[in-house]
Structure 1
């Protein structure tokens, strides 16, 4: 995927700058010479404060990297939709010319509350009239790093089924940030939904484990968990959901876990209804193996 050079430094308002991807985007913007203003959570909750901040900084471009932390329905609605909607309204009111949204590739097959919230805002953004780009990355390195300490401790790597149920093309924070920032003033990326993965190839959960053991210099050890355990947990928790918000929230967590255990983070081929590695664009230079190596070396 080609990138057009950014012709001029821009005044950019960045929402979600405290998150992992947001920090990488802020660093990339600064490195490319853009003037960056980070929008705080308090501003995102206050429409008037948002408009004032965008006007004061004369923001030309708004980038949103915000996302709900839990994925629970109330949190998803509040962050993935409502906070982004307030930000878009403020951008339009303040005269910003472009809105770049960090979304997620999993919204292609929406079965979860946070996916529906993201799609609702994507539709609102596309209909707003502002120049926009919607970026849907595959798995992040951070999301694939949760078992590093297990392997270091000599424990087996957990897989679902045979470990070949899902595949992804993970992308690093820095590469994703570079891709996001490349959308500024880029006519080829304007008005588009852009799925994006790392340099590839697509790898399964078992292959991630084999890679991690290889980098750690250990013999591979795996422990299989059936995704059905999440279905069972959801059914049990759903019994209490009509009477308790706690049960309803935990049932959604079980659905989220089952989704990621069974669904690939690749482009969904509309012709076949299956995930396709060949249709998933690749970008960047950092590999998951190099990331694992840094983590194991204490980086």
Structure 2
């Protein structure tokens, strides 16, 4: 902290996957932290709680120096995305401007480099609003979360094959842990080089493909590698069929959109995009932290934990 002076930080989305990591890092750094939640939850010692609904204009009278927003739509479907990734974020931004916040830290996503989906356009629209707001901003665009990549652990534990699309090398990412990402977010407060910047960020080590994940996971379990290759055309065909059915039965439209999201993540890498070549560049993707996805797998296996991913599946 500059001059050892703690900031008054208001965090939104502190109960989510990445938000919890940011909350822990902010507390550890000695900041005075308040967390906005929809329903009361257990929070780290010293964190104050405010119950509010971000979908509505915020009525909070306190003053804060920094706002950290880690909220995100749960499904990514159009209605959900525009309601949360855009409209609710605008409510937070309006509040921040009203109470004199000087710095707004936004958790965004690296996939916005190549937008094709409604949730990406909703996030981009808010990023533009933030950059034009007059506030100092730090837009953090992380690569894949550990939780998002852990969905096949139980399959492998049950001696079933790891599923990959194509040859398993179509995409790559630099996975980042909750705590490493949280530390990066918290460090934005006092790092002038992260002010008024869009900040792509990945975890430590080289980029890994789905096939790399499979090989590492089976190696940790000391089992022979088992991989089942699925054609990318399968998921593309499903999204097409569901899209057609959705014109007749509107309730199917959300399922079609989820399939389109799955196809995107099955075919696009979560790395920095070289705009000149149109190719993803692992070497140009910044890294931070110390925990690897394989460290995470080992911990889950040793402790016999099952990850409740919710909406954090890659596919």
Q: Residues 24-103 of structure 1 correspond to what in structure 2 (within 5 A)? A: 24-41=21-38, 42-47=52-57, 50=58, 52-53=59-60, 55-56=61-62, 58-103=63-108
SS state of the match for residue 79, structure 2? helix
Q: Given the superposition, is the C-alpha separation of residues 296 and 129 from structure 1 closer, same or farther in structure 2, using an over 3 Å criterion? A: same
Alpha-carbon distance, 1:242 to partner: 2.7
The reply on whether 1:246 has 2:251 as its aligned counterpart is yes
Partner of 2:227: 222
Structure 1 residue runs without a partner (length 5+) = none
- Segments ≥4 residues shifted beyond 3 Å: 4-7
Q: Residues 160-171 of structure 1 correspond to what in structure 2 (within 5 A)? A: 160-171=165-176
Partner of 1:188: 193
Select the residue among 150, 155, 171 that pairs with 1:150.
155
CA contact (8 A) 2:55 2:83 kept: no
Structure in which a larger fraction of residues adopt helix? 1
TM-score, normalised with respect to structure 1:
0.94
Matches of 1:10 and 1:93, distance apart in 2? 18
Matches of 1:228 and 1:5, distance apart in 2? 53
CA RMSD of aligned residues (A): 1.3
Q: How many equivalent residue pairs?
A: 291
Partner of 1:20: 17
Residues 269-294 of structure 1: CA deviation (Å, up to 9, x unaligned): 01100000011001111111111100
Matches of 1:63 and 1:141, distance apart in 2? 21
Select the residue among 119, 139, 142 that pairs with 2:124.
119
